Structure 1
């Protein structure tokens, strides 16, 4: 970013002609600095899947409300013995019946139906928990990519600055006939190579920023910087410790909620095997015999001679048993993914430690000794350039190792993230 600002300033000064001042403009706004918590919050708030989940939760709550309602009573009327022949010609023998009927649910169906609806509502919450975990994992990975891309741009900008200083110093020595023209050619080539490397790093940074901004729902984004650091832990946790965290993750913990949901469905199917009965009552008017009136009452109950809901009960039982197999299959899949990420983590951690503890100090000392020797006339400009290139190559190797370490760490965090819901 420093190089961008310097370039912008130089272009503006070059464009100002003597005696003619451009219209006063506001200075460019500083890039927004974003920390990881803000990046996570933006991604979660702007993900349309969160709105979809909220709508599904509202729909599921409506099903809870509906499940707790009893059947409606039925009001009916019936006319008999009219418009016939003989004694029932016209309306002479008319009979009118008006009444009300009500289905009475048995086996506590209403409570069991409501319990099932509530369990299904809980599953929507678990879906949101899985979604949040997925979004956070994507944001963490993209955030680290931007963070390390910024570090690479800073490193290569420093390399370019030193290469240009060397080019200027070599040109001075060549003019003074103290160095051959070949040294200036090499110094110029080194500066051009670093210019290309810096531009490449800047393009990679722009891509990483775009990938992060997409997670916020931004097609085009204003410039920003991320702040933070990749912390290299002294030791890598054991695989057993990480594997022990899997049962508490949303991926596996939700199966307990799923089991309860399917058990509630089984209870409801068992209750449906018990038939409901219907009662009715009303009054009947007889047009003959001077209009007599009487009451009627009765009940109806299905005879479960063939259908005792046995097929649905069998299906519900099998689905309850299937939960444990589904959970175990996913557990093994997650364990495999965790093991692969762990191997990358261990390898990258060892590589980063080795580079930082062994290679980097030696390269730094070699560069310092070569530079000091060059000042005393003991080494050539080529030796200084080679030492500097080796030093920065090791610095970049350290960043690559950190990137592998951070990517594996983010994947492990996603796999072992504890659930925010209880079951």
Structure 2
């Protein structure tokens, strides 16, 4: 009676929670279609960090436009001294404003460097968001593949159970030795362990997808099949390797480094400080105007070290830009070749699958008729399982090849442009 009452309370509590959460998404939810999921990831930490880098570059560019602040000086002379000699009668008070004046185009060089920094940050932002979109697509497909592997493992377990029933029937009829039944049971146990491992891998894949998407609620599955979308051959137009985001980033950073060299060179030119003030004399009837100019003498510090360091940064940026261009050209050729190879691999996997299914069907007919041993049936079913896995591996390779090629085009796997 107590157990029945306890179960009723549990069911009542579950019903209350279901009423409060009709969507059933308080602890779990299905990931939306990939394009929608990507559009919802504007506030994830990785994207926020990229946006913060751009905001930082804009702040530095704004600061580069600032002019030097003036300073106010107050000087007092002879305000204390020997009263017998009338020292205090010669008291002087001077109010003076000093305004540094930048020479040699320092401010314009800073502004140009700040603008170049914004361009470089924006290029890194676009490349980073494209990398993130590619990783998100792979995680999305990883969850889908994990789910399909579970379905395949379940099919293999069902087939193994059916084969075990046949083996038991044959053993019971005296047509097979007890050893054959033990072999079938061992094969079933192995496949059941593989099924549990596939379920664990799905949990891992969904956890990674949830983390990448910035979802506090773990996903329980995906609502779209990206693998099925790969069945339609995409239209691949001409690809300009020089427009790849990696090349754009390297070139923008090279331009920013060149601007930094100019800034350091201009800093070697001394600035002038203009001075203008008013001096009040104690014994005079009115104030006197004073003016002056202060010019530092560059005897010791000519900013040579900073100039050399900036030039070294520029040399490294130029080398990275050249390497990025070479890698983009090679990556484009390799990407097109990998897409062709992945499509051919997927077609061959389908043919292998058809052959393995027919082989398993014939092996089972022969075994049930007592014309072939159990070992041949197990081998045929193993080959079928391998063929099923090959199809999934080929599909994953197709997506990986398409994702790499889409990234070179500045697109996501589903064709959306990343601005």
CA distance in 2, matches of 1:99, 1:220: 65
The CA deviation string for residues 290-313 of structure 1, in whole angstroms up to 9 with x for no partner, is 545322233333455675555544
Contact map agreement 1:88 1:94 (CA 8 A) in 2: no
CA distance in 1, matches of 2:185, 2:305: 83
CA distance in 1, matches of 2:72, 2:6: 93
Matches within 5 A, 1:14-413: 22-23=8-9, 24=11, 25-26=14-15, 29=24, 32-41=30-39, 45-47=43-45, 49-85=46-82, 89-168=86-165, 177=173, 180=176, 182=178, 187-217=184-214, 221-225=218-222, 227-230=224-227, 231=230, 245-288=240-283, 291-303=285-297, 309=303, 312-332=306-326, 349-357=343-351, 359-369=352-362, 377=369, 379=371, 382=374, 386-411=379-404, 413=406
* Other structure's SS at 1:106 match: coil
Residue 8 (structure 1) aligns with: none
* C-alpha spacing 1:213/1:280, structure 2 compared with 1 (3 Å): same
Contact map agreement 1:249 1:418 (CA 8 A) in 2: no
* Other structure's SS at 2:141 match: helix
Aligned pair count reads 397
The CA deviation string for residues 199-224 of structure 1, in whole angstroms up to 9 with x for no partner, is 23222222222232332356882523
CA distance in 2, matches of 1:273, 1:105: 11
Residue 10 (structure 1) aligns with: none
Contact map agreement 2:117 2:256 (CA 8 A) in 1: yes
* Other structure's SS at 2:48 match: helix
Q: TM-score, length-normalised on structure 1?
A: 0.74
Q: TM-score, length-normalised on structure 2?
A: 0.75
The CA deviation string for residues 42-75 of structure 1, in whole angstroms up to 9 with x for no partner, is 555322x433344444343333332222222222
Contact map agreement 2:143 2:221 (CA 8 A) in 1: no
Q: Which runs of 5 or more structure 2 residues have no equivalent in the other structure?
A: none
* C-alpha spacing 1:321/1:184, structure 2 compared with 1 (3 Å): closer
Contact map agreement 2:146 2:202 (CA 8 A) in 1: yes
CA distance in 1, matches of 2:5, 2:109: 88
Offset at residue 246 of structure 1 (A): 3.8
* Other structure's SS at 2:213 match: coil
The CA deviation string for residues 324-350 of structure 1, in whole angstroms up to 9 with x for no partner, is 212223445666777888887666554
* C-alpha spacing 1:80/1:53, structure 2 compared with 1 (3 Å): same
* Other structure's SS at 2:88 match: coil
CA distance in 1, matches of 2:7, 2:150: 34
Stretch deviating more after TM superposition (272-281 or 64-73): 272-281
Contact map agreement 1:44 1:50 (CA 8 A) in 2: yes
Contact map agreement 2:129 2:418 (CA 8 A) in 1: no
Q: Which runs of 5 or more structure 1 residues have no equivalent in the other structure?
A: 1-16
* C-alpha spacing 1:191/1:305, structure 2 compared with 1 (3 Å): closer
Taking only aligned residues, the RMSD between alpha carbons, in angstroms, comes to: 4.2
Contact map agreement 2:143 2:205 (CA 8 A) in 1: yes
The CA deviation string for residues 253-294 of structure 1, in whole angstroms up to 9 with x for no partner, is 112222332232233334334433232223222223x54532
